[in-house]
Amino acid sequence: MVYLDWAASAPPDSAILKQMTRDAVRYFGNPSSFHTVGKAARAALERARFNCARILNCDASQLVFTSGGTESNNIILLSVLNSYEPASLVISGIEHASVSQSANMLSSLGWKLEKILPNSDGRLDGRKVAAVLEENTKTRLVAIMAVNNETGAIQPLEKLTAAVRGALSSSKKRVHFHADFVQAVGKIPINLSALDIDSASFSAHKFQGPRGIGLLYHQNPNFRTLARGGGQEHGIRPGTENVAGAIALASALEKYSQPSQGVKENGIWLLSQLAGNPTLAKLARIIPENRVNSPEGSYTPGIIAIGCPPIPGEVLTRVLANKGFVVSTGSACHSNRRKKVPEKFGGLTLPKQTLNSMIRVSFGPSITRGQLEEFLKTLKTEVQILLKQTR
């Protein structure tokens, strides 16, 4: 089996999981206890927090351990219920369901929700963001993800934050800017101190760590969360901390936080083969269409979206799986919905037939060129067979 669905969940590092098991036994004490066992767990937890902060370039006090990206996103989005009367909320049209569905819930409670769609390249335009904000001067929160999980589009966060600050410079209250970084780790360099964002979310299982552990970065705790409990994690995420998970997250971040040269080279090669091979170019459509000739840094090389109309993406994924290649039709979270054809893919409005045919190929550093070559051969053969069957 060749696993090409890393954007859904990266295969965990076995050495990190083994160490996590040992740490779960070693640091079994409650970090809030004052005895020696609890203090040992607390010390290990804070070491993990410090190590994460060092890698992400922020202060350790700005990091909160959570159960993952969904919880981190929900903490921020729903915190507005404790902080403001209903006003305006702005998100991009490419957000993960944990952001978009939380925003929809706020909309049902009286918040005015504005969604900004990307350009045809899957990336947001700062001018478009500024225009929306100038029309919604009572905006309290803006949420824009760093890397799109379906098209691989890297959002120009520096330009977008500048657009937000400039458009709302007359506001007496600082508008909270939240960035979902769940797909960003290992794909783009991350320097939180260099970004003018207020919060960011991370999830360990996207960069070969364990499931059930994540991070929430906050530049300044200028928000009040809904959750109540024992006051752990500065009261932002109460509940007994997952010490072994936090240590494992820090280890995975240390090992896999930097973009892989191998993934870059393989991604460029795969794109060139899809676009340059006469047969494949006729069979497979790369989304967005201008990705092949885009400037470096516009897309992460490890996420590539392909459409093979009129073949349904679900059919092609099953056929490829039977041949030993695991791909997906897009976001794993969206697949839980009972809607066969999505309205958009990566925020892009596409012909219905193209949307229905989309598959996503995503991979990490352990995937080899040889495996991708075999994948392309299989893709070409199976698509040709399926096209004959649809005629």
- In the DSSP assignment, the letter for residue 257 is -
Write out 271-316 in H/E/C secondary structure: HHHHHHCHHHHHHCEEECCCCCCCCCCCECCCEEEEECCCCCHHHH
- Taking a C-beta distance cutoff of 8 angstroms, is the pair 206, 9 a contact? yes
> What is the distance between the alpha carbons of residues 20 and 271, in angstroms, rounded to a whole number?
37
Could you tell me which of 215, 219, 216 has the C-alpha nearest to residue 192? 219
What phi, psi does 113 have (nearest 5°)? -105, 125
> What is the distance between the alpha carbons of residues 268 and 300, in angstroms, rounded to a whole number?
10
> What is the distance between the alpha carbons of residues 36 and 27, in angstroms, rounded to a whole number?
11
* Whether residue 333 lies in the annotated active site: yes
- Residue 78's SS3 state is helix
Q: Which residues of 329-354 are buried (b: 16+ CB within 10 A; e: fewer)?
A: bbbeebeeeeeeebeebbbbebeeeb
Q: Which residues are catalytic?
A: 333
